[in-house]
Structures are given as C-alpha cells and as structure tokens.
Amino acid sequence: MSETLVKIRGLTFSRGNNLIFDNVDMDIPRKGITAIMGPSGTGKTTLLKLIGGQLQPDSGSIEVDGQNIHQLKTRELYELRKRMGMLFQSGALLTDLSVFENVAYPIREHTRLSESMIRQLVLMKLNAVGLRGARDLEPAELSGGMSRRVSMARAIALDPMMIMYDEPFTGQDPISMGVLVKLIKSLNDALNFCSIVVSHDVRETMSIADYVYLISAGTVVEHGTPEAITNSESEWTRQFIKGLADGPVPFHVKATPLLDDLLTTAERKRG
Amino acid sequence: MVETILNRTQMLGRATLDGFARLGRASLFLLEVLSNLGGMLKRPGLLIKQLFSVGVQTLIIIVVAGLFVGMVMALQSYYALVDFGAENSVSVMVVLSLLRELGPVITALLFAGRAGSALTAEIGLMKTTEQLSGMEMMAVNPIERIVAPRFLAGVIAMPLLAAIFSAVGVMGGYLVAVELLGLDAGAFWSQAQENVELIDDLGNGMIKSLVFGVVVSWIAVFEGYDCIPTSEGLGQATTRTVVYGSLAILVLDFVLTALMFGK
C-alpha cells in the first residue's frame, strides 16, 4: 500500500478568468496531519472540494487511495466518499435533525445496523468529541465550536481513511480553538489516519501539523515540516508565518505616487 | 455613440446566452431529478413529510381563497344574468369558470407564492449553509434525498389543492346564490350537473393543474439549487421563483386553454 493517500499532479483550475491553481503538485501521506496554509482567497477550500470530487479541474489529476477521483463514475465516487470525512467551516449540520440524528445520519444511510448498535456508535463518536451530553440539542442551539465538534463526530461516523478540515479554527474563542486543536490531534493519533487541515491560523495549525504546504497565487510556495517552514529563508514565508504587515505582500495596493494622485484630483475638481 | 450601441448589443447577446445556458442547466437538472425519483420512492417517509409541508400547510390559504372566489363569481354572474332572466344559470358560470380556469390558475399562483417560495428558500439555505455539499461528501445524493421528494410532492399536491379550491369555490357560490340571493337549490345543482362534462371540464382542469404543478415545482427546486449561495442570491432566487412561476402559469394557461377548448 502506497504511503501517499492523496496524489495531486499538474492541477490547474480556474473560475472564469481567475486562475486559482496553476500546475500544482502535492503528495499527502496516508497517516499524520498535513496542513495546507495560505492567505485568504488562495483557493484552500477549493482544493478540498477538488480532492472530494465536488469540483472538476481544468487539467491535471487527483488520485485518492490510488483512484483518479475525476474519472470515477458517480457510484464509485460515492463509494470512495464513504471513506472520506469532511468538516465544513460552517459545520454543515442538517438543521432539521438533532445532534444525535446528525451523527447517526451517515450510519443510517450506508449501513443496516440495528437501532441499538447505531445508538452505541453515535454515543461513542459524540463522547470522543465531548458532546455526548448534547445529543438531544438542535443545531440552532449549538455554538460555532460545538457545531464543528458535532460535524467532526459525524465525519468519523463511518471510520474513514481520511478527514478534511476546512478552516476549523476560524472565528473561534480561545477555549473552543484549544478544544478543536486538541481534538484534531487526538483523533488523528487515536484513529491513525490522514488529516488534511486547511487553515490560515498559523500558530494553531503548525502546533499539530506533521507536514505543511504553503500555497499562494495558485502555486505551492513552500512545503516541509513545521520546523523547516518556520526556519525558512523565503521572505514571503517569513511574512506569512510571522504575520508581518509589510513585505513581499506589500501594505499598499499598487498605485500611482500619492502626491501625483492628490494633485490630479485637485486639478480635475478645479477644471 | 457607436460604442454605446455596440455595448448594448453585447449586453443583449450576453443576457440571451446566459438565459439559454440557464434553461439548459434547468433542463438537465429536471432530468436528474426525474432519474432520482425511483430511488427516492424507496423512502416514502421523505415524500409524505414534504406532502404535508407543501400540501397540507398550503390548504388554509387555498380554502379561504376558493371560498371567496366562488362567492364573488356567484355575485358577478347573478348581476350579469339576472337582466336576461337567466339567473338560474349562475351555477353553470361558477362551476365552469372554477373547474376550467380559476381553480387551476389561482391555486397555482397561490402555490407559487406560498409553497414555491418556501421550497426555493429551504433548498437555497441548505446550499448556502453547505448542507447540500455536506450530504454529497457523506456519499448521499442531495438530488435524491432533498430535491426529488419536494418536486414530487409539489406535482402531487397541486391537482389535489386545485380540486379542493374548486369544490370550496362551488360551495361559496352555493352560499351566495342559494342562501343569500334566494335562487332555487335544485336548479343550482341540476344546471351545474347538466352542463359540466367530466372529461372536457373536470379532466382538462386537472390536466392543467398537473402541468402547473410540474412547472412551478421545477422552477422552485431549480432556483433553490442553482442560487448564488449568499443572502442576496437567496433573496433573488426566491423572487425569481414567484415571478417566473406566475408568468409561466399564465402563459401555459393560455396555451393549454387554446389546445383543450379550441374548436
């Protein structure tokens, strides 16, 4: 069995005239936490949707567990997705079902287990994310962090080979963030599978990642272990990791000199 | 000047192309929904739940509207016919207009406003909150689980609601004509019975409402599924459902009437 679970080769994807990925190569290992980081709007979520087969690339290939995901028939794709979990930024819980039923949903859909067995499984999954006591709540009664934890329990309901996290830390208070960081790490250690974390929260992501890809402007800027990324010589990487206001990504958007601009405006008004 | 004309022409061309592209997407979407009806029927609970939501919950508005439309029809017919001493034919006018036109058309318009907009908003919100994407990633087909039951429920509910609308409308007409205006109850019913044909009037009215059911439900579920996943996009999609749905009903009503009742 190959050590690489997700193999991306020559991936090119655009929306209209906007090129999101330009000939990107990536190898995501079968075990461990791989972080994909980059500034907002670089297409990190799009990359997850491409890996999940929800979007079609312009060219290039994405293999998941040896299968080219964009050449699969619908039925084969759905079979593969049963082994792929995904945590959406919003949690994406079904709002007309309780917490318990949300976690039970994929089990009910894809297995013929007895009701008592489903109950045991759901309670175990909810216990793993610390929300066994919230099983009767409705999604509307949950905080953002709790929604994501329920979504995590649902994502691991069918014991997948991988789980993709889309911006799991965005908009969380420090306690919720700490809980999510710990959960991603502990789930990965306990289930010994592949976790792909897409995020721009550098400190939290780097603290749990085994391998990091930095993407920007449609290409992989750098990749390596968190230590290698932290000690990188690249100015762009240093700016991103340390959150510096100015650097290769300038503070000012490209414009004519300020004085010229001010004078031109004044003359135009006078004219 | 030339540039303005060129720009306008270009905009017109783009809008036309976008319109056709949307129509194409909607047609493919309908095919996909139809092909998933079989899978959906294995879970009848989904359909029953939606029948309650789009059918039963629309019933009150249909009953109230039907009652008053029937009453107004009876009044107007009476005022028009009494001058010719033909007031006993009030029931014929009430029943025929309800069965052939008002029942199917007003039911469909009310359905588009009440249930159609709700379908679009519900599916659109599920798209906006990534619930549909979430289902896809759980290897569950949202067309089969979410869209198909809502579409079929709309198709089934529409003729039933139209039938109830017409029945209540006739009762409203009876109340006004017999109880209020003092026409003979026997004449009211016998005139109606003599002049209404099962296939030509009742049957054609039902076919109309079935066609409206397909079109309005199709527009509603497509607009929800195809909406731009933002609050503004969702609002626009809901508006489009009511506007396109209502226009489609009126245009199709003309076409169907011409086909069915033309000599």
Interface check B134 vs A, CB under 8 A: yes
pLDDT at A269 over 60: no
A92 vs B134, B140, B141: nearest CB: B134
pLDDT in tens, A132-152: 999 999 999 998 889 999 999
Tell me what pLDDT residue A144 has. Answer: 87
Tell me what pLDDT residue B263 has. Answer: 60
pLDDT in tens, A164-220: 999 888 888 888 888 889 999 999 998 889 999 998 888 889 999 999 999 988 899
Q: Cα separations (Å) of B128 from A23, A88, A97, B29, B77?
A: 30, 12, 17, 19, 50
Please give the mean pLDDT across all residues of chain B.
93
Gap between the terminal Cα atoms of chain B: 52
- DSSP symbol at A72: S
Tell me what pLDDT residue A259 has. Answer: 85
A94 vs B131, B136, B137: nearest CB: B131
| C-alpha–C-alpha distance, residues A101 and A99, integer Å | 6
Closest CA to B163 of B218, B221, B95, B116: B95
- For the beta carbon of residue B240, count every other beta carbon within 10 angstroms: 18
Instruction: Please state whether B104 falls in left (phi above 0), alpha (psi between -120 and 50) or beta.
Output: alpha
Contact B207, B110 (CB under 8 A): no
Give ipTM to 2 decimals.
Answer: 0.83
pLDDT at A72 over 90: yes
The residue among A248 and A71 whose pLDDT is bigger is: A71
Q: Distance from B132 to chain A by nearest Cα, in Å?
A: 8
Q: Cα separations (Å) of B6 from B10, B13, B14, B19?
A: 6, 10, 12, 20
| Residue A264 pLDDT level (bands cut at 50, 70, 90) | confident
- DSSP symbol at A169: T
Residue pairs spanning A and B at CB distance below 8 A: 49
| C-alpha–C-alpha distance, residues B241 and A206, integer Å | 47
- For the beta carbon of residue A110, count every other beta carbon within 10 angstroms: 16
Contact B138 A81 (CB under 8 A): yes
Mean pLDDT of B211-218: 97
Return the SS3 of A127. helix
Q: Distance from B126 to chain A by nearest Cα, in Å?
A: 8
Interface check A94 vs B, CB under 8 A: yes
Tell me what pLDDT residue A242 has. Answer: 81
Q: Which amino acid is at A72?
A: L
Backbone φ and ψ for B96, nearest 5 degrees, come out as: -65, -45
Mutation pick from B129, B137, B150 vs chain A, by most beta carbons of A within 10 Å, is B137
Contact B136 A54 (CB under 8 A): yes
Ranges A221-230, A246-255, B42-51, B240-249, most confident: B240-249
With CA atoms as reference, the chain B residue closest to A92 would be B131
Q: What percentage of chain B exceeds 70 in pLDDT?
A: 99
Tell me what pLDDT residue A266 has. Answer: 61
With CA atoms as reference, the chain B residue closest to A160 would be B138
Q: Which amino acid is at B197?
A: E
Return the SS3 of A220. strand
Burial of B55 (0-12, 13-18, 19+ CB in 10 A): buried
Helix axes B103-111, B204-226, angle to 10 degrees: 10
| C-alpha–C-alpha distance, residues A149 and A181, integer Å | 11
CA B125 to chain centre: 22
Tell me what pLDDT residue A43 has. Answer: 87
- For the beta carbon of residue B140, count every other beta carbon within 10 angstroms: 21
